[in-house]
Structure 1
């Protein structure tokens, strides 16, 4: 065996046509895991699909949690090689990204506030790779490398997982090192010069030591053309490596040392002209009039022509990596697990924050560096009594350092100001804000969950978590300008002195316009708190293939601090320090579910209903202040998410299988009276007791300081979402080969793309369809594929241009792509 492994290593490097593989036979001590789409294949003999959602191998159908599970095979064949594409497979999952750093993962519409990232808060959906918690969503946007399965758990998970997660968890497990030599390889090619290569080599070094080395490389031309730089944007340039060493000195002890490195340089993420709506600004300050004043027109007013003319640098390079050591020691009655990890993330962006080919904001970027250390211990019983348990402790420390800059250009005065200053380019031309941001986050928790078999069929499962969070940070913005007319340097400490030194009248007004556009400020927010949370689940096995459960969870999402700038006080001489921090979210989650199988387990139907109330919901606001470009965080009174979900699969024969999954999600603001106003109610003169707000979308109107959006829908959530598909195969020859045709589809109804619902930023519902046709046998697979087969035109998100001009910009989804994949296992 030792002699054969080096030969396999050499064979893997000499492959001329590596390709995706079908899943090999699973090791005897590993669980068989599958998604609902894969369920028929996995269930053909026994119907037992094992998962580790509750930190132990259990039959998926008996786990009293709403979850979806996808195998590496289904991910490969559907082209799901990152989190963004995962949402097309799981209807309850939402993923939004204007660039890798500004990304959010939500489940059932909850998890992170919609808008630009604020480093000072937690994410509500936990992201785990081989048991290691990833502290920022941006550090989780790399390509999947050698993934064995992905589990998507819905609802609070704080009593089983290290980090408190109030909305759910994505639990990714990579393929472990194997003591049986193997080589996996995959190559895919397609239009837009798409190419993707994945390789994996595993085998023994000694009788007690095995390794696995995995690589992934993806390249693709951009799908958007920038006529200004003559460059394709939204390209893919991704490279990843992962290495693992498994040491098993005895049958009861194993240690796995893992390391990974990923780099992406996608030259994204462009948003550009989508449509125009009327705000309450004066008519001559609406987008159309402003563009005409410069003689400007976008290269196309049809966003699906996929052309833009951005005049600022675009970049989204990120580097992600880390190392972990996982130890499992079987003590007999229980297994002790230790997960030690260090990870880092470096982000190097550049953006065109005005979204058009005019020099309004010429530089906008927030390079960031994150480092995190985590340690988790768990002790889990081995299921030999009526009382099973899992107890654990978790320690997490994270630092983020950000160096931001924003520079205004010669067109900024006209676009952002009113009065005589709007006609003077020098007022804002060269105005620069240099931001230094530091964040330190420490979290500690102890948690546990019991599984008490009251009878052979009735189980009571209480859980408890005690959690401590401490966050501290600094935000320092220095604002300066140096052009032919103006020159100053303003810090948070000298604004009042500079205002006093300014002459009365026009000079003072000009200085105030400058510091209101980019506000100099300095503050050091702090937050710390203990909280106790818990859950209770009652499950009952009505029959061997009929299982029901009901659960209640009381959970908390940690409070946070604002690290993207604060609104100025009434005199514009400093920041409003009352907005430095936000309170924790308090979550009450209720769920009932039924898991069923029929027809000798060839038909699976799982149902879940849920109701989640959150008070002190953490939301992005701006109070109509143009000086806080990114917005800041505040607490909304209450939100609610309720609905139902189903997962189903049916395999009437060995030749044919179908699946269908769906979710209805009704998520609303129950109480949010001081919300930011939508663009149609923004940009006008300030409302007062003698000058009340006027009608929405009328130029020259009067705008309220805030809006009551109670009863309106949360952003980014479709009421209806579905995934569906199937496969048909025909045997070929005597070698066990098959010719097959497969289909995967998804649909989501319309959703709001603005924190406060706006008539201008609804994204219409859309359906996506993908097909594949191929031939496979045990160790070989070749197929052609087409994704977004009907070239559906849709937006991933819409945004508004700063300054309430009425310009709506969008980020379109991928067009139709097609290609082929070939694979081999040795």
Structure 2
């Protein structure tokens, strides 16, 4: 650790993590100026602070930066923020965010998302189109003391523009290659001096950036549209109310997953035969009420979110008809928080509150095994197992047995209801001016209770039917016996888990002067546990094997050992085959449903030191944070049978830094550089077949780098032109626990030219201008033709894109 910390401290003068933004102001002629010294206050129900003085690693993007950098969704801030990685792959369903080597592929998120202080409890809702965003804050490291579950890696907090603070109307038209076009119309008006309303309507469409060579159709096309309303009311000098609502409907065709030859490092074509699509309706609403007392500020925040989606997936991603997956979700989520905090600037600053939520998700996830899947995964595998048994010397007298399946397909329906609720109490206190001016200490604690349940019903809509041919020698004459079978398949039951978590925080801060400070902190975070839906397909496959063998034993005079015609399992009872006829091996096997589908909560301790400084007053700001994370029971997405499931690894460790620099050599020129380094490895992880100790954690880029420059050139009193050039780099990214597939460091060049006037703006923009080829995502899945060697697939990153935005202002 010493070898890392000492040289890293020397970077403070050259790199730093962005804290204060560079708000755009104008001079006496109206020309655009970049002002690094502008004071930005960040305020929410939990805390209030001058952004520059915030004791932690934080990145901030304001309205002007969001518009200038073409940030349309949360995925677009990946790499702009040091050590933040949100791969742009698949669909709006999948928003896997990673910070400092901690993240989540499926199930519970590790990075929290709040919009107008409303928590987004499910990451299926993370990817939505931005409209009228005031600013985005990204806090790195565990935020569990104030925000609780699923913020163990960090938090993205988004705030929309208040119609009380900014009025006006605009219409933005966007056009680009790949048939991109969109319209975004917003208006914000005061009804009275204390009551204002903001309205937005939007639509965006593209034809996708890739083509399925098997169907000759575009892969990854997207259409999305929606609207939002916000009503802000200053009811009195003490009361403020805000009502928000946002609806979005999206429809995507895809997914652009291409076969990848891992040995040759070659990407093949996108070529699969079955439907792949994702449709989603998302409604989010919230009501916030704030009361300002002379001694405290009280806030109540109520949130409701409704999500209804439908995904179709060619699960094998090849031209063969192996099996398909459909997932339909309907989610209702309600949250309520009460928070009370002191005013800023007191010697004692404190905050406390209560939080509760209820989330109910109803999921239907049928898997359809088609003809190729039945032939390869059931018929062929069963016959291979029978042939292997016959080679056993102990079974020299075993007859020749082969099976044939009559079903043209096997449709296994899965219906899962997962209600989850929780409650929390939290508090945090800061004592300023301890012994000397400038020294402060913060202590916080949160207690979370959570109960998760799953009601599951997995069943085949028709029995698995066929014949077993048993060849025997009766009195020297060969004889073939046909034994028909019909196997009902199903697993039913319910499981539940309860957790009680403590999330403490300890922090020291010392202000060297009014231009610099340093801090040190230790914080605990956790991510909630849950259940794997995809494991039920594997359990049904296990049930097929045991019941098939039971039928074969029955045909050889072994009776019915239990399972040939039995119904489904209930509760957590094991799936089991009991005995075997004489001369046959025992097929004793047992799988406990709860242990097979459950995964435990994940915990971490984050140790951090850092500082922030104005190195040159008015011209240069710098920030550096160094961290070490000890993570236990990290939730790892792994290939298992017919899909990916979540497992708990033993232990991982991450260390690294975030650093950035912002400078204004002249009033019209803004330069910035941000860098993140993460070294995340397994300290203890053995999946039962492989030991991954010492390997790098997947989906954790070792380096993230963002360089940008913006120059504003005045044309006249009301018009200027801004040129921006940006370089975004990240890597090396390992895709697997075995570290046998990776994307090396790569960089993308983006640029824009903005002509801004009083009534209209014209922007020309381009992304990945050098048309850099890279892997945005890699995964492995079952190879039905050779179960010993999984298939590999990649999604390539977007090619060069360019377009024009026209904004009319009223």
Length-normalised TM-score, structure 2 = 0.82
Q: CA deviation at 1:431?
A: 1.7
Q: CA deviation at 1:609?
A: 0.2
8 A contact 2:668–2:712 mirrored in 1: yes
Q: CA deviation at 1:531?
A: 2.1
The alignment status of 1:637 with 2:607, answered yes or no, reads: no
Equivalent residue of 1:793, what SS?
coil
8 A contact 1:391–1:449 mirrored in 2: yes
Query: Who is 2:772 aligned against?
Result: 792
Q: Which runs of 5+ in 1 are unaligned?
A: 1-33, 279-299, 488-504, 676-704
8 A contact 1:36–1:659 mirrored in 2: no
Query: Who is 1:557 aligned against?
Result: 527
Query: Who is 1:611 aligned against?
Result: 628
8 A contact 2:637–2:644 mirrored in 1: yes
Q: Distance in 1 between matches of 2:19 and 2:407?
A: 55
Query: Who is 2:446 aligned against?
Result: 465
Q: 808, 811, 824: which one pairs with 2:792?
A: 808
Q: 509, 515, 524: which one pairs with 2:494?
A: 524
Instruction: Decide whether aligned partners of structure 1 residues 188 and 506 sit closer, same or farther in structure 2, where only a CA change above 3 A counts.
Output: farther
Instruction: Decide whether aligned partners of structure 1 residues 53 and 421 sit closer, same or farther in structure 2, where only a CA change above 3 A counts.
Output: farther
Query: Who is 2:333 aligned against?
Result: 372
Q: CA deviation at 1:323?
A: 1.7
8 A contact 2:446–2:502 mirrored in 1: yes
Equivalent residue of 1:710, what SS?
coil
Instruction: Decide whether aligned partners of structure 1 residues 215 and 162 sit closer, same or farther in structure 2, where only a CA change above 3 A counts.
Output: farther
The alignment status of 1:349 with 2:311, answered yes or no, reads: yes
Q: Distance in 2 between matches of 1:45 and 1:77?
A: 17
Query: Who is 1:822 aligned against?
Result: 806
Q: Distance in 2 between matches of 1:762 and 1:786?
A: 27
Q: 166, 176, 193: which one pairs with 1:190?
A: 176
8 A contact 1:662–1:721 mirrored in 2: yes
The alignment status of 1:666 with 2:666, answered yes or no, reads: no
Q: 389, 392, 397: which one pairs with 2:358?
A: 397
Q: CA deviation at 1:633?
A: 3.1
Q: Distance in 1 between matches of 2:79 and 2:634?
A: 27
Instruction: State the Cα deviation string for residues 682-724 of structure 1 (Å, max 9, x = none).
Output: xxxxxxxxxxxxxxxxxxxxxxx52110111111011111111
Q: CA deviation at 1:580?
A: 4.3
Q: Which runs of 5+ in 2 are unaligned?
A: 1-17, 26-32, 385-401, 469-479, 543-574, 577-587
8 A contact 1:236–1:266 mirrored in 2: yes
Equivalent residue of 1:411, what SS?
helix
Q: 133, 150, 163: which one pairs with 1:177?
A: 163
User: 1:414-563, aligned counterparts within 5 Å?
Assistant: 415-416=376-377, 418=380, 421=383, 426=405, 429-453=408-432, 454=434, 455-480=436-461, 485=466, 520-563=490-533
Q: Distance in 2 between matches of 1:509 and 1:272?
A: 41
User: 1:573-584, aligned counterparts within 5 Å?
Assistant: 574-584=591-601
Instruction: Decide whether aligned partners of structure 1 residues 737 and 43 sit closer, same or farther in structure 2, where only a CA change above 3 A counts.
Output: closer
Instruction: Decide whether aligned partners of structure 1 residues 376 and 431 sit closer, same or farther in structure 2, where only a CA change above 3 A counts.
Output: same
Q: Distance in 2 between matches of 1:810 and 1:187?
A: 33
Instruction: Decide whether aligned partners of structure 1 residues 424 and 199 sit closer, same or farther in structure 2, where only a CA change above 3 A counts.
Output: farther
Q: Distance in 1 between matches of 2:170 and 2:97?
A: 30
Q: CA deviation at 1:576?
A: 4.7
Instruction: Decide whether aligned partners of structure 1 residues 574 and 521 sit closer, same or farther in structure 2, where only a CA change above 3 A counts.
Output: farther
Query: Who is 2:475 aligned against?
Result: none
Query: Who is 1:123 aligned against?
Result: 109
Q: CA deviation at 1:187?
A: 1.7
The alignment status of 1:406 with 2:353, answered yes or no, reads: no
Q: CA deviation at 1:601?
A: 2.9
Q: CA deviation at 1:635?
A: 2.3
Equivalent residue of 1:84, what SS?
helix
Q: 731, 739, 751: which one pairs with 2:721?
A: 739
User: 1:155-174, aligned counterparts within 5 Å?
Assistant: 155-161=141-147, 163=149, 165-174=151-160
Q: 85, 90, 93: which one pairs with 1:98?
A: 90
Q: CA deviation at 1:787?
A: 0.5
Tell which structure's C-alpha radius of gyration is larger: 2
Instruction: Decide whether aligned partners of structure 1 residues 175 and 486 sit closer, same or farther in structure 2, where only a CA change above 3 A counts.
Output: farther
Equivalent residue of 1:383, what SS?
coil
Equivalent residue of 2:253, what SS?
coil
Q: CA deviation at 1:196?
A: 2.1
Equivalent residue of 1:138, what SS?
helix
Query: Who is 1:774 aligned against?
Result: 754
8 A contact 1:410–1:426 mirrored in 2: no
Query: Who is 2:568 aligned against?
Result: none
8 A contact 2:347–2:431 mirrored in 1: yes
Equivalent residue of 1:783, what SS?
strand
The alignment status of 1:55 with 2:46, answered yes or no, reads: yes
User: 1:607-756, aligned counterparts within 5 Å?
Assistant: 607-621=624-638, 626=641, 629-673=642-686, 675=687, 705-733=688-716, 735-754=717-736, 756=737
The alignment status of 1:81 with 2:72, answered yes or no, reads: yes
Q: Distance in 1 between matches of 2:407 and 2:682?
A: 38
8 A contact 2:176–2:802 mirrored in 1: yes
Query: Who is 2:57 aligned against?
Result: 66
Instruction: Decide whether aligned partners of structure 1 residues 652 and 319 sit closer, same or farther in structure 2, where only a CA change above 3 A counts.
Output: same
8 A contact 2:34–2:670 mirrored in 1: no
Q: Distance in 1 between matches of 2:54 and 2:767?
A: 33
8 A contact 2:36–2:664 mirrored in 1: no
Equivalent residue of 2:76, what SS?
helix
Q: Distance in 1 between matches of 2:211 and 2:638?
A: 33
Q: Distance in 2 between matches of 1:211 and 1:320?
A: 22
Instruction: Decide whether aligned partners of structure 1 residues 43 and 819 sit closer, same or farther in structure 2, where only a CA change above 3 A counts.
Output: closer
Equivalent residue of 2:235, what SS?
strand
Q: Distance in 2 between matches of 1:54 and 1:550?
A: 24
Q: 315, 319, 335: which one pairs with 2:277?
A: 315
Q: 308, 328, 334: which one pairs with 2:290?
A: 328
8 A contact 1:227–1:309 mirrored in 2: yes
Q: CA RMSD in A?
A: 2.9
8 A contact 1:413–1:427 mirrored in 2: no
8 A contact 1:413–1:421 mirrored in 2: no
Q: Distance in 1 between matches of 2:263 and 2:484?
A: 29
**Structure with more strand by fraction:** 2
Instruction: State the Cα deviation string for residues 445-465 of structure 1 (Å, max 9, x = none).
Output: 011111210243111111110
8 A contact 2:207–2:222 mirrored in 1: yes
8 A contact 2:526–2:604 mirrored in 1: yes
Query: Who is 1:210 aligned against?
Result: 196
8 A contact 1:372–1:396 mirrored in 2: yes
Equivalent residue of 1:313, what SS?
coil
8 A contact 1:40–1:650 mirrored in 2: no
Q: Distance in 2 between matches of 1:320 and 1:264?
A: 9
The alignment status of 1:259 with 2:245, answered yes or no, reads: yes
Q: CA deviation at 1:389?
A: 0.8
8 A contact 2:709–2:726 mirrored in 1: yes
Q: Distance in 2 between matches of 1:620 and 1:774?
A: 43
Q: Distance in 1 between matches of 2:807 and 2:149?
A: 37
Q: Distance in 2 between matches of 1:557 and 1:348?
A: 26
Instruction: State the Cα deviation string for residues 504-548 of structure 1 (Å, max 9, x = none).
Output: x9999999xx99xxx843342211122222101100110111111
8 A contact 1:109–1:665 mirrored in 2: yes
Instruction: Decide whether aligned partners of structure 1 residues 594 and 638 sit closer, same or farther in structure 2, where only a CA change above 3 A counts.
Output: same
8 A contact 1:156–1:589 mirrored in 2: yes
Q: Distance in 1 between matches of 2:793 and 2:494?
A: 34
Q: Distance in 2 between matches of 1:655 and 1:334?
A: 41
Instruction: Decide whether aligned partners of structure 1 residues 386 and 509 sit closer, same or farther in structure 2, where only a CA change above 3 A counts.
Output: farther
Equivalent residue of 1:145, what SS?
coil
Q: Distance in 2 between matches of 1:773 and 1:86?
A: 20
Q: Distance in 1 between matches of 2:186 and 2:594?
A: 53
